[in-house]
Amino acid sequence: MGSGQTVAVFGAYGHTGRFVVAELVERGFVPVLSGRDADKLKALAHESALEARPATVHDPEALDRALAGTVAVINCAGPFASTAAPVIEAALRAEVPYLDVAAEIEANIDTFAHFAGRARQEGAVIVPAMAFFGGLGDLLATAAMGDWTEADEAHIAYGLSSWHPTAGTRRSGAVSRKRRGERRMRYVGGQWEYRTDAPPTMEWDFPAPMGPQPVIGEFTMADVVTVPSHLAISDVTTYMTAAAVRDIAAPDTPAPTAADEYGRSDQRFLIDALVRSGGAERRAVAHGQDIYAVTAPLVVEALERVLSGRTRTVGVAAAGEIFDATEFLRALAPHITLNVQS
């Protein structure tokens, strides 16, 4: 457990940031609250009796002050296209691990492209997309692979009962769409491909308790960056339930609201990760409640493992590469229900 270690949380007052702060406190860490909005930080600091250190990504000295004396930084502030690189630079200067919860495809691609060599050379640890999208799917695909050294295809299907996006999700999505234009992305034959046609629709046979659901195929999420960064799989495809796509596309879909004492919404999720090699296939499935809330135990579990040395590599690394995937997933109980058939 944290034993009083201080951890900087950039974007601490956001929807996901608040879950991360609560999880850090629960595990014995002392969060240092940081972010761009001084008033929101002051309010959260008063509410939680924690220290606030305002900083913007345009002020390296303020970022350095925010990270001073901490053992790590968790970046919860999107759009990550704007925040990831400056906060990573601050973490490298402070010589502390960096973790983020970025679901932005382009931001994660940038992190691998711009920092992989330098972080490896310096022995630094940078874990991007350590969240529901990018982290959990990557861990499941890695666990499903088991002892396979390569596979032909990975399919990660997201079954969401609904998707009430946060303001941060909407901002990040807008940034990604602006960078991508009218194109969509998919990963085929070991490389990125840009397309302008409509993504396919189909039915996905989710395991119980969800069952068959209409999905949007090639609904590309951050796992399509993280999975091929360390697994020898030439085709990686993600899918999303059609109802969830309609929710997030609608401008009037409200933000998530608390439905229990932990602040979680009533949203349910099921992730079905299927890996195929030749004529064989393996699967890992996880289900639980609230994609934003479950990000907190994901990233804080990762933090604990980094700080205790339970890692497999240094540099920029996806969850399934730096951690023992199956062991990590089992440690997430009771936050998820897990079934690995590898």
pLDDT at 221 over 90: yes
Residue 327 lies in a domain: no
Query: Where does the pLDDT of residue 180 fall: very low under 50, low under 70, confident under 90, or very high at 90 and above?
Result: confident
Give the tens place of pLDDT for each residue, 8-28. Answer: 999 999 999 999 999 999 999
Rounded Cα–Cα distance for residues 51 and 302 (Å): 23
Task: Answer yes or no: is pLDDT of 2 > 90.
Answer: no
Amino acid code (one letter) for 216: I
| pLDDT 10s digits, 240-260 | 999 999 999 999 999 999 999
pLDDT at 299: 98
- Considering its fold, how many domains does the chain have in total? 2
Task: Report d(CA 123, CA 95) in Å as an integer.
Answer: 9
Calpha distance 314→296 (Å, rounded): 22
Percent of the chain with pLDDT over 70: 99
Domain presence at residue 195: yes
Question: Residue 156 domain-assigned?
Answer: yes
Nearest Cα to Cα of residue 22 among 250, 273, 299, 236: 299
In a domain, 329, yes or no: no
| Same domain as 107, residue 150 | no
Q: Is the pLDDT of residue 342 over 90?
A: no
56 pLDDT tier (thresholds 50, 70, 90): very high
How far is it, in rounded angstroms, from Cα 112 to Cα 226? 9
Q: Are 85 and 185 found together in one domain?
A: no
Structure tokens at 272: 């079905």
Chain-centroid distance, C-alpha 312: 19
Does position 309 have pLDDT exceeding 90, yes or no? yes
Band (267; pLDDT cuts 50, 70, 90) = very high
Q: What is the CATH classification number for the domain harbouring 68?
A: 3.40.50.720
* 162 shares a domain with 252: yes
The percentage of residues in the chain with a pLDDT greater than 90, rounded to a whole number, is 95
Q: How far apart are CA 59 and CA 45, in angstroms?
A: 21
CB 308 within 8 A of CB 112: no
Residues 181-192 have a mean pLDDT of 93
**164 and 115 co-located in one domain:** no
**Nearest alpha-carbon partner for 316 in 225, 236, 254:** 225
Same domain? 143 vs 120: no
Q: Is residue 122 very low, low, confident or very high in pLDDT (cuts 50, 70, 90)? A: very high
Q: Which pLDDT does position 166 carry in this prediction?
A: 96
Same domain? 276 vs 315: no
Give pLDDT tens digits for 124-158: 999 999 999 999 999 999 999 999 999 999 999 99
The arithmetic mean of pLDDT across residues 201-222, rounded, is 96
Average pLDDT over every residue of 325-334: 97
pLDDT digits (tens, 9 = 90+) for 311-323: 999 999 999 999 9
Query: What is the predicted pLDDT for the residue at 177?
Result: 86
| 222 and 270 assigned to the same domain | yes
- Same domain (yes/no): 191, 62: no
Instruction: Compute the residue count for the chain.
Output: 342
When the pLDDT of each residue in the chain is averaged and rounded to a whole number, the result is: 97
Same domain as 254, residue 165: yes
CB contact at 8 A, 130 and 101: yes
We report the CATH number of the domain holding residue 274 as 3.30.360.10
Name residue, tokens 């972010």: 35
In a shared domain, residues 266 and 171: yes
Residue 41: give the domain boundaries.
6-131+296-322
Q: Do 16 and 297 touch, CB atoms closer than 8 A? A: no
**194 and 116 in one domain?**
no
Residues 26 and 126 in one domain: yes
Per-residue pLDDT of 66-114, as tens digits, reads 999 999 999 999 999 999 999 999 999 999 999 999 999 999 999 999 9
